[in-house]
Amino acid sequence: MRCFIGIDLGSTTTKAVVIDENQNILGRGITNSRSNYDTAATIAKQEALLNGRFYLFRQALGSTKALNGALDGFIGQLERDFRLEQYLEQLGDLEQTCHRSLATAKFGDSTKAVEGALGEVFRRLQGEAADLFKPGAKRKSDFFRDIAGSQYLSIGETVAKEAGTRYDFLLNVFDRSIIEVENRVYADSIRRHLLAALERTFVALPETAARRTQVEAPIKGILDTEMEETYVVGTGYGRARLPFSKEHIRSEILCHGLGAHVMYPHTATVLDIGGQDTKAIQVDPHGIVESFQMNDRCAAGCGRYLGYIADEMNMGLHELGPLAMKSTKNVRINSTCTVFAGAELRDRLSLGEKREDIMAGLHRAIILRAMSILARSGGIRDQFTFTGGVAKNEAAVKALNELVAENYGKLTLNIDPDSIYTGALGGATFAWRAVTEDGKVAENRPN
């Protein structure tokens, strides 16, 4: 089947979206951007295609009614089992890489002891792997670096203590190995992992095993369907690094505008607050950008502002919004400089202001900055779509709603839970338009 793919290389994460010929979203994929955009693009795309396979499994199994009523549970289990298979392979890979790194490390007499400890750490990591992917299990992140890293650190510490070896030697080996493993692409293993995961799922859900043939046939059918990468469009800060020709590259402003239009066809104004920039975009009824403005010279008021404040407060980024929602009083904080805002925050705390009130002030400061950029771009028109990481923050949304109502009256504010994929969706739609409307063929299909 023909697939149209958009890849958005952001400063922190890389996102990909796959759509089909009818512009249905088949899959979405996300990965950390690392220091290697080529790999990030490949992995995000692969994740989106994989997510697309699961979408197709669900569709196929849904239409055969082979799992009537048990479909959601089955797909969920299959996905967890697949992730487990993938994790185990990467873990094996990491173990081998760690041993290779150890061979070139200069640990002197300790090398033997570290080798023993390393073996033990990985034995325990393998042993605990299945629990990480149990139903309802909480993972800090879905990126291998984060999952394996946090496990390795805690297990490593215990093992080092028990074995009487130095913990920092274990850390050293991990640090030298993780980048190599993280930048490896496991595209060839997907089919194998899926088939192995299917076996695990039949064991975990014995009632589905009874209908093995009816279940297996559509899944294998889909596995045999080629998801052809008909056209790929790349966007985002790392776009110049994408292995595509210029024809396949679009600015993220155009992609965000079009992506927001696809999500909400009546969108006229888009606000996107990402990690390092804030974009205000006006689009026409076809999703074509009419004008735009971005923050200039300074990134105060972007997502990183909140990240900095979270660090200053020793809190998690996702905890800021909920805390600010408890506010009962307005505290004014400047929005001109992130570092100054940090100083103001400590000043307000010392004056006895409540943390939640200060937090609400900070969220309002970000939105005030965005309001000025929106005004420069031509103001806010109905409907208004808010995208980017900050759109997930309820306190930022609350401040935006208030300021929009004060300055522009009542408008429809759209926020999609998948708004992080807006740019990639716009890219995929450009890819679709290039082929179906302009008759383009891919000149350079990246591997």
Q: Exactly one of 294, 403, 411, 415 binds another protein (CB under 8 A); which one?
A: 294
Q: What does the alpha-carbon distance between residue 240 and residue 400 come to, in Å, rounded to a whole number?
A: 33
> Is 339 one of the binding residues for another protein (CB under 8 A)?
no
Q: What does the alpha-carbon distance between residue 402 and residue 391 come to, in Å, rounded to a whole number?
A: 15
Residue (386 or 432) nearer to another protein, CB: 432
Q: Exactly one of 28, 53, 83, 433 binds another protein (CB under 8 A); which one?
A: 433
Q: Which of 267, 283, 239, 291 is nearest to 424 (CA)?
A: 239
Distance of closest approach, residue 305 Cβ to another protein, in angstroms: 17
Cβ atoms of residues 386 and 421 within 8 Å: no
Residue 318's Cβ-count burial label (10 Å; 0-12, 13-18, 19+) is exposed
Distance of closest approach, residue 337 Cβ to another protein, in angstroms: 14
Q: Which of 337, 252, 253, 344 is nearest to 302 (CA)?
A: 337
In single-letter form, the type of residue at position 100 comes to R
Residue (29 or 257) nearer to another protein, CB: 257
Q: What does the alpha-carbon distance between residue 52 and residue 80 come to, in Å, rounded to a whole number?
A: 16
Helix (H) or strand (E) holding 344, with range, is helix 338-350
Task: State the number of binding residues for another protein (CB under 8 A).
Answer: 23
Residue (97 or 338) nearer to another protein, CB: 338
Residue (80 or 433) nearer to another protein, CB: 433
Q: Per-residue b/e over 101-117, b at no fewer than 16 CB within 10 Å?
A: bbeebebeeeeebbbeb
Token pair 């074995």: residue: 163
Q: Exactly one of 74, 82, 202, 292 binds another protein (CB under 8 A); which one?
A: 292
Binding letters toward another protein, positions 214-243, x by CB under 8 A: -----------------------x------
Q: Exactly one of 288, 339, 343, 405 binds another protein (CB under 8 A); which one?
A: 288
Instruction: Report the site for another protein in 1-20 (rule: CB under 8 A).
Output: none
Instruction: Report the site for another protein in 241-270 (rule: CB under 8 A).
Output: 250-254
> Is 51 one of the binding residues for another protein (CB under 8 A)?
no
Sheet holding 269-273, edge to edge: 289-294, 278-283, 269-273, 384-387, 413-414
Distance of closest approach, residue 402 Cβ to another protein, in angstroms: 25
> Is 440 one of the binding residues for another protein (CB under 8 A)?
no
**Which range touches another protein (CB under 8 A), out of 34-42, 108-116, 197-205, 292-300?**
292-300
> Is 438 one of the binding residues for another protein (CB under 8 A)?
yes
Instruction: Report the site for another protein in 350-389 (rule: CB under 8 A).
Output: 376, 378
Q: Which of 440, 114, 383, 133 is nearest to 260 (CA)?
A: 383
Distance of closest approach, residue 382 Cβ to another protein, in angstroms: 19
Sheet holding 13-19, edge to edge: 25-32, 13-19, 2-9, 228-236
Q: What does the CA dihedral 420, 421, 422, 423 come to, rounded to 10 degrees?
A: 110
> Is 286 one of the binding residues for another protein (CB under 8 A)?
yes
> Is 297 one of the binding residues for another protein (CB under 8 A)?
yes
Q: Which residues bind another protein (CB under 8 A)?
A: 237, 250-254, 284, 286-294, 296-297, 376, 378, 433, 437-438
